[in-house]
Amino acid sequence: MTEKKHRYLFARYVQKPRDPKRTHTKGYLSNPANLRWDEIVGFSVGLKHRDEREAWVILDIDGQRVVKNRTSENTNWAQLMDYYLKNYKQQVLGFLKKTGGY
């Protein structure tokens, strides 16, 4: 009998210039005020090596555990899940519904 794969939520963060037209200006990208972070959230059944390598945050939804968290050492599964539910409620609930309920 094969073991059922767990469902995962993962997040990647990408830093981008606030004004891409000014990146040629000397020192523009070295000033943190000129940069912003984009959050890219995804879901999967099972965990791919690419996700483990590239994701900053990986949450095992079925196991209710943090697999990886590069954003903070002091954040537990419940706190992270609350954040993603608050900000991505439709996506999280849609994924859970498609993959076997919640």
Q: Is residue 42 domain-resident?
A: yes
Backbone φ and ψ for 35, nearest 5 degrees, come out as: -120, 155
DSSP state letters, 1-16: -PPPPPEEEEEEEEEE
Name the residue type at position 37. W
For the chain, how many structural domains are there in total? 1
- Is residue 2 in some structural domain? no
Asked if 84 contacts 9 with a C-beta cutoff of 8 angstroms, the reply is yes
Say if 102 falls within a structural domain. no
Model's pTM, two decimal places?
Answer: 0.81
Question: Is there a domain that residue 1 lies in?
Answer: no
Q: Per-residue pLDDT tens, the chain, 102 aa: give them.
A: 456 789 999 999 988 888 888 888 888 878 888 888 899 999 999 998 998 999 999 999 999 999 999 988 888 999 999 999 999 999 999 999 999 865
Q: Which domain holds residue 84?
A: 7-97
